[in-house]
Amino acid sequence: MEEKPNEVHYGLEGVYFTDSKISKVDGINGRLYYRGYAIEDIAKYSSFEETCYLLLYGRLPKKEELDSFSKAMAAERDLPDFIMDMISKLSGREKQMHILSAALSALSAFDPETEDQSPGANMRKSIRLISKLSSIVAAIGSAALGNGYTKPSKDLSHAENFLYMLAGKKPDAGKARMLDKMLMLHAEHSSNASTFACLVSASTLSDIYLSVVAGISALKGPLHGGADENALAMLHEIGNPGNTEEYIEQALAGKKKIMGFGHRVYKTYDPRARIIKESLMEIMNSSDEDVKNVTSIALRAEKLMIDKLGKTHGIWPNVDFFSGPVYEYLGIPSGLFTPLFAASRIPGWCAHIMEYWQNNKLLRPLENYTGEIGLKFVKIEDR
């Protein structure tokens, strides 16, 4: 009897591996929901702290609950001296994502509950991870900028504290709110590559720290978290708004990938990109000519790409395309974009890990073997 060939889903495309109540990505209609709430409403009315509570606990908090949660987050911002020394010694020797991965792995040694897998302990560790990962990323960025280490403040919001630690001074309120919105927009996105990597690790019953490190490793790639840095590099390469159309036309003719366009799930405009574009329109009025320049290039490139490939090929701007100019306006160096992505996404990672552990099953997909079988082994002296 002839064996039926195995059906292979390359990249696991179209394969459902679990149930989840955390987020819904509607790629056909360009909609995104966190725990049932539209991303547009979250970006308009919420904060990063409240979004973390929603993702972790599955519901919106009451005011006193949010106040308590925010204080708990703020209380966990400090970093051990060992971690700060590690960041200082690795700065300039390693890429920022390598430093982030090493620092987070080491941080687990300072958590007395690392091996405690109880739900309560995992929730407490999630809060620590969200708070401390942001401090690590800010410290990495500050070291790279030569600003020295600024100890975190317990009196500032999560977004304010990040900018404060990065630059060593309290940030402008408008810029802090802009970063707060960016953090919320990147906080969760279903079973993307980094979230799936977290869950592969977590499914073995590894601890939450190293499961998150697995997610950071997946996030580093230019097809995932590294895309916004490459998109901004392209905008700087174009250099002048008047060069935009010629550059894009030549890139398309040479079949060069335009970073920041197209998405594995969205077949229309990424809803997060629409919201970030609003911030881009705000900074168009900046007095900084470099900011005006890169913003103008981005908007001209977006229009041309939509005319060329949007309606005909379903290739639309994604969250990465507009993120770079906004981060640059906020004073965040491009090498820090992907680590900041990790600091944004960690509440989603932790929420998924804890949810998966409620009905854990070891993730072990099959591969379709296409090699030879039954070869005769020839001893080394006879080869």
- As annotated, the active-site residues are 224, 263, 320
What pairing do the DSSP bridges indicate for beta strands 37-38 and 23-26? unpaired
Contact 204, 217 (CB under 8 A): no
8 A C-beta contact, residue 85 and residue 71 = no
Closest to 286 in 3D by CA, of 326, 228, 237: 326
Answer left, alpha or beta for residue 25, where phi above 0 means left and psi between -120 and 50 means alpha. beta
3-state secondary structure of 135: helix
What angle, rounded to 10 degrees, do the helices at 319-329 and 173-185 form? 160
DSSP 24-87: EEETTTTEEEETTEEHHHHHHH--HHHHHHHHHHSSPPPHHHHHHHHHHHHHT----HHHHHHH
Neighbours of 53 (CB within 10 A): 23
The helix/strand/coil state of 148 is coil
Using a CB cutoff of 8 Å and minimum separation of 24, what contacts does 247-253 make? 248/301, 248/304, 248/305, 248/308, 249/304, 252/308, 252/309
- Residue 70 structure tokens: 């925010």
Count of CB atoms situated within 10 Å of the CB of 255: 6
